[in-house]
Amino acid sequence: MTDTDFFISLAADLLKKPEYEITPEQRQNTKQICYGILYGMSKETFARETRMTINEAEDFVENFYKTFPIMSQYLDNIKRQVGETGYVQSMYGRPLYFDLARMSANEMNKARMERQAINFVIQSSACDIMKMAIERINQTLDRMFPFDFKIRPTPIRPVYLVLQIHDELMFEIELSSRTNEIINIIHQEMERNDKISLLLPVQIKSGDSWESMISVV
């Protein structure tokens, strides 16, 4: 895994261009089609959102599936699983159940539940990855800064998780001789994942306020 922007690389593959020729608009269109395909966006909606014609949108989607045929297989497998078993799972085994009777009542119900199934598998897996990273960070910090639960119900330590915003975590860290060590632990545990071989690169920013944040890792 390099530091190359994922959607720029994807756009370059789809448009058969070198990465340095990809414009911000082409990158954004590629990003939208990725999410649109995953969540069942129609070609009409995609064309409207990206300001393409219907024919251009159709060509873009067709080229996407030709370039990444495994994506079509993956989505079809999820639809088949929910249709046959009535449930799907995140990569960590967390299930979501569906009413097969309602699903088979009409095509509209079926299409809606298939979209929900795809959305759940992707979003719940991302959620599981984040929650497990938070737990690993907390466990490591508890070992670094041990305390007695009988005396105090919450730990006294120079770092606290303040907020989760989608795929970002905000920590409040008291400057000390161990600050760099704490930052490295957070970075390592956020990038660690035993379920997938894909590297999940994490950027660490630091600052006195949200506005003043600068990259440190």
Predicted confidence (pLDDT) per residue in 109-154, tens digit: 998 999 999 999 999 999 999 999 999 999 999 888 887 666 666 6
Predicted confidence (pLDDT) per residue in 158-215, tens digit: 899 999 998 899 999 988 888 999 999 999 999 988 888 777 888 899 998 888 889 8
> Which pLDDT score, from 0 to 100, does residue 196 have?
80
The CA-based diameter of the chain, rounded to the nearest angstrom, is 68
Question: Do 138 and 59 lie in a common domain?
Answer: no
Last residue of a domain, one of 14, 42, 67: 67
Tally of domains within the chain: 2
pLDDT bucket at 39, cuts 50 / 70 / 90? confident
The token duo for 65 is 């599936």
Q: Return the closest-CA partner of residue 35 out of 71, 4, 9, 70.
A: 71
Query: Does 4 have pLDDT greater than 80?
Result: no
Contacts for 171 with CB less than 8 Å, ≥ 6 apart = 159, 160, 161, 162, 186
In terms of residue numbers, what domain contains 197? 128-215
Question: Do 63 and 133 lie in a common domain?
Answer: no
Last residue of a domain, one of 45, 67, 89: 67
- Evaluate whether residue 59 is within a structural domain: yes
The token duo for 209 is 């306020």
First and final C-alpha spacing in the chain: 16
- Evaluate whether residue 46 is within a structural domain: yes
Last residue of a domain, one of 20, 36, 67: 67
Q: Concatenated DSSP letters for 150-192?
A: TT-SS---SEEEEEEETTEEEEEE--STTHHHHHHHHHHHHH-
- Evaluate whether residue 61 is within a structural domain: yes
Question: Do 209 and 132 lie in a common domain?
Answer: yes
Give the DSSP H/E element, type plus range, for residue 200. Answer: none
- Evaluate whether residue 75 is within a structural domain: no
CB 100 within 8 A of CB 109: no
Return d(Cα 163, Cα 6) in angstroms, integer. Answer: 26
The token duo for 191 is 């990038």
- Evaluate whether residue 178 is within a structural domain: yes
Instruction: Report CA 21 to chain centroid distance, whole Å.
Output: 26
Predicted confidence (pLDDT) per residue in 65-109, tens digit: 888 888 889 999 999 999 999 999 999 999 999 999 888 888 989
The token duo for 51 is 């300001």
pTM: 0.77
- Evaluate whether residue 201 is within a structural domain: yes
> Which pLDDT score, from 0 to 100, does residue 1 have?
44
Question: Do 133 and 203 lie in a common domain?
Answer: yes
Contacts for 30 with CB less than 8 Å, ≥ 6 apart = 7, 10, 11, 14
Amino acid in position 50: T
- Evaluate whether residue 115 is within a structural domain: no
The token duo for 177 is 């001789």
- Evaluate whether residue 72 is within a structural domain: no
CB 46 within 8 A of CB 66: no
